[in-house]
Chain A
Amino acid sequence: MIWNQHIECMSREDMEALQLRRLQEMVDRIYYNVPFYRRKLQEVGFMPGDIRHLSDLSKLPFTTKQDLRDNYPFGIFAVPMSEVVRVHASSGTTGKPTVVGYSRKDLDNWAEVTARCLYMANTDRQGVVQVAYGYGLFTGGLGIHGGAERIGASVIPMSGGNTEKQLMLMEDFGTTLLGCTPSYAMHMAEVLEQSGMDRSRFKIKYGVFGAEPWSERMRKQIEDRWQIKAYDIYGLSEIMGPGVANDCDARKGLHIHEDHFYPEIIDPATEEVLPEGKKGELVFTTFTKEAFPLLRYRTRDITALHRETCDCGRTLVRMDKITGRTDDMLIIRGVNVFPTQVESVLLEFGEAAPHYQLIVEREGTLDKLTIEVELSAALFSDTVTGLSKLEARIRRRIDSVLGISADIRLVEPGRVPRFEGKSKRVIDKREI
């Protein structure tokens, strides 16, 4: 099913014409309305009228997460707060979140692209959509919610957690589509299997899963255990939230809603734009966003783009499933975690941060984070109670700064492996 035949199956020529017009409008808007961008554009000698071709975009400066931090909270907003009808936020690297704003039109466009995603997942107004993404500052819950309402499905706004109740209502209300993180879908499947509930009484047929990386192997597991079709939904709050891209039944990558979000793939080292099909860092320019437009935003996600028409009939550009990141950000239980956050906590316990390592494992269906901390002479006390208290103090601080719990393990000096003088900060043992 295709929600917006006109856009999703538009010829490449027409799409590029639309994109060029929207890019020109967007650059005008940010030049005149966002001092941050005016400075950036002036630095490279660019004036709004200078964009004649889509390829001119590659001459424009990038936006990074650091830029968002430097302009916390509303510095990059392009409209006055009276036009902003909602804000969302995601965890940042240093305690301050990354804040994003939406105008009424932005929410409208968000619902449009998410509606397209749900249609790709074979869900229309007959559907009963259970949203088990978190509601709140996180974009997941309200993002899917808006798209589901747009197509006229019946929405069950569960938010995350409370798995037994999720399953009970899923059965009683006749949920046909589940939206949540893939790891939570696995957890729910496990609880369902143990509950003795009768799967044949459930009406669920589809799931849209995202907000964390997952593999084809995991997709197969979810599909086998749930006996549903699982779709990959991609998004990031900086660009919009869930609904930036989604895969269709052809499973040849995720269709990016490129009439709103223009993707480029760059070499993260040279910052050169790479040709179609080459793997590199995904960069987005938002064409239509009013409140929080971003120019060439570096997602740090690694993927490749493909433009030939899909078996499903859509012409929208496709991106491969995300295969990694150019930075060391981890997504654990849907929460962004940066090793530097751990470092900032450890600095509170001494003059120099001890060597440390993050180890992420998947135990059953849930992610588990262990942080190994090398004990230093300054922190060493020769009683076990003293050391256990130290562990507990570190654990409490990590919980509060990262927003997820971690096991703290004190290790002997020299136990964290070093590479070229730098510690290897992260070991990700999850097979995802």
Chain B
Amino acid sequence: MLKQVSLFLENKPGRLAHVCRVMAQEDINIRALSIADTTDFGVLRLIVDNPDLAEERLKARGFLVSITDVVGIKVDDRPGGLADALDQLEKEGISVEYMYAFLGKCGNQAMVILRLNDNAKGIEIIKKCNMEFMTPEEVYQI
């Protein structure tokens, strides 16, 4: 399982830049990110090379941070590659709460981060279907 750093941010100018500046100062590299937002606030989700340090440093700066377990998978980088993977999960009743992709690819594969309603069961299914996982080491050291 991968550790995702989740942050609560108000929709105000400069908040996102502030987070990124903190990460830069701590020499933490952002591997993937997504933002979900409303008009008033947003949730920033980060995959970084050192999630524990990121959590600690962001908390020290007063940010509201939590660590969420997410699953990283590799899918064939072709039309339908992601659809095939998601079909497998859906068949077993696992739903995706949110997902986002890495930029760039690994060989001929695209990389996707999933937050599932049942991470443990989701992992079993992914294994059963011979989908490839992204290991923490792999992600943190891209």
In whole angstroms, what is the CA distance A409 to B8 when docked? 13
| B121 to A: closest C-beta gap in Å | 19
**Contact A415 to B43, CB < 8 A, known contacts A377-B64, A382-B68:** no
Please provide the chain A residues from 394 to 426 with a CB less than 8 Å away from any CB of chain B in the complex. Answer: 409-415
The yes or no answer to A349 lying at the interface (CB within 8 A) is no
Nearest A residue to B59 by beta-carbon distance? Answer: A377
Q: Interface-forming stretch among B33-41, B80-88, B124-132?
A: B33-41
| A387 to B: closest C-beta gap in Å | 7
Please provide the chain B residues from 1 to 59 with a CB less than 8 Å away from any CB of chain A in the complex. Answer: 4, 6, 8-10, 15, 36-38, 40-43, 45
The yes or no answer to B62 lying at the interface (CB within 8 A) is yes
In whole angstroms, what is the CA distance A399 to B82 when docked? 44
Nearest A residue to B70 by beta-carbon distance? Answer: A382
List, in ascending order, chain A residues with CB within 8 A of B15's CB: 412
* Contact across chains for B37 and A382 when beta carbons are under 8 A apart: no
List, in ascending order, chain A residues with CB within 8 A of B45's CB: 382
| B37 to A: closest C-beta gap in Å | 7
List, in ascending order, chain A residues with CB within 8 A of B10's CB: 411-412, 415
* Contact across chains for B9 and A382 when beta carbons are under 8 A apart: no
**Contact A414 to B62, CB < 8 A, known contacts A375-B8, A380-B8:** yes
* Contact across chains for B38 and A384 when beta carbons are under 8 A apart: yes
* Contact across chains for A380 and B41 when beta carbons are under 8 A apart: no
**Contact A380 to B66, CB < 8 A, known contacts A387-B41, A387-B43, A411-B10:** yes
The yes or no answer to A194 lying at the interface (CB within 8 A) is no
* Contact across chains for B63 and A412 when beta carbons are under 8 A apart: yes
Nearest A residue to B42 by beta-carbon distance? Answer: A384
The yes or no answer to A388 lying at the interface (CB within 8 A) is yes
- Per-residue contact bits, chain A 370-391, to B (CB 8 Å; 1 contact, 0 not): 0000011100101110011000
Main secondary structure of the interface of B (DSSP, over half): strand
| A413 to B: closest C-beta gap in Å | 5
In whole angstroms, what is the CA distance A377 to B66 when docked? 8
Nearest A residue to B41 by beta-carbon distance? Answer: A410
* Contact across chains for A384 and B37 when beta carbons are under 8 A apart: yes
In whole angstroms, what is the CA distance A413 to B38 when docked? 18
Interface size on B, residues (CB 8 A): 22
* Contact across chains for B64 and A384 when beta carbons are under 8 A apart: no
List, in ascending order, chain A residues with CB within 8 A of B41's CB: 387, 409-411
* Contact across chains for B43 and A412 when beta carbons are under 8 A apart: no
From A382, A387, A412, A413, name the one whose CB has the most chain B CB atoms within 10 angstroms.
A382
In whole angstroms, what is the CA distance A377 to B68 when docked? 13
| B116 to A: closest C-beta gap in Å | 12
List, in ascending order, chain B residues with CB within 8 A of A380's CB: 6, 8, 64, 66
The yes or no answer to B92 lying at the interface (CB within 8 A) is no
Nearest A residue to B68 by beta-carbon distance? Answer: A382
The yes or no answer to B138 lying at the interface (CB within 8 A) is no
* Contact across chains for A410 and B40 when beta carbons are under 8 A apart: yes
- Per-residue contact bits, chain A 3-32, to B (CB 8 Å; 1 contact, 0 not): 000000000000000000000000000000
**Contact A382 to B38, CB < 8 A, known contacts A375-B8, A387-B43:** no
* Contact across chains for B64 and A383 when beta carbons are under 8 A apart: no
List, in ascending order, chain A residues with CB within 8 A of B66's CB: 377, 380, 382
The yes or no answer to B97 lying at the interface (CB within 8 A) is yes
List, in ascending order, chain A residues with CB within 8 A of B4's CB: 382
In whole angstroms, what is the CA distance A387 to B10 when docked? 12
In whole angstroms, what is the CA distance A112 to B6 when docked? 65
List, in ascending order, chain A residues with CB within 8 A of B43's CB: 382-384, 387
In whole angstroms, what is the CA distance A145 to B112 when docked? 70
List, in ascending order, chain B residues with CB within 8 A of A375's CB: 8, 64
Nearest A residue to B36 by beta-carbon distance? Answer: A384
**Contact A412 to B9, CB < 8 A, known contacts A377-B64, A383-B97, A387-B43:** yes
List, in ascending order, chain A residues with CB within 8 A of B6's CB: 380, 382
* Contact across chains for B36 and A409 when beta carbons are under 8 A apart: no
Interface residues of B (CB under 8 A from A): 4, 6, 8-10, 15, 36-38, 40-43, 45, 62-64, 66, 68, 97-98, 115
Interface residues of A (CB under 8 A from B): 375-377, 380, 382-384, 387-388, 409-415
The 10 closest A-B pairs by CB, nearest first: A382-B6, A384-B36, A414-B62, A382-B68, A409-B40, A412-B10, A382-B43, A375-B8, A413-B64, A380-B64
**Complex A-B: 15 CB contacts under 8 Å:** A382-B43, A382-B45, A382-B66, A382-B115, A383-B97, A384-B36, A384-B42, A387-B8, A387-B43, A409-B40, A410-B40, A412-B8, A412-B10, A412-B15, A413-B62
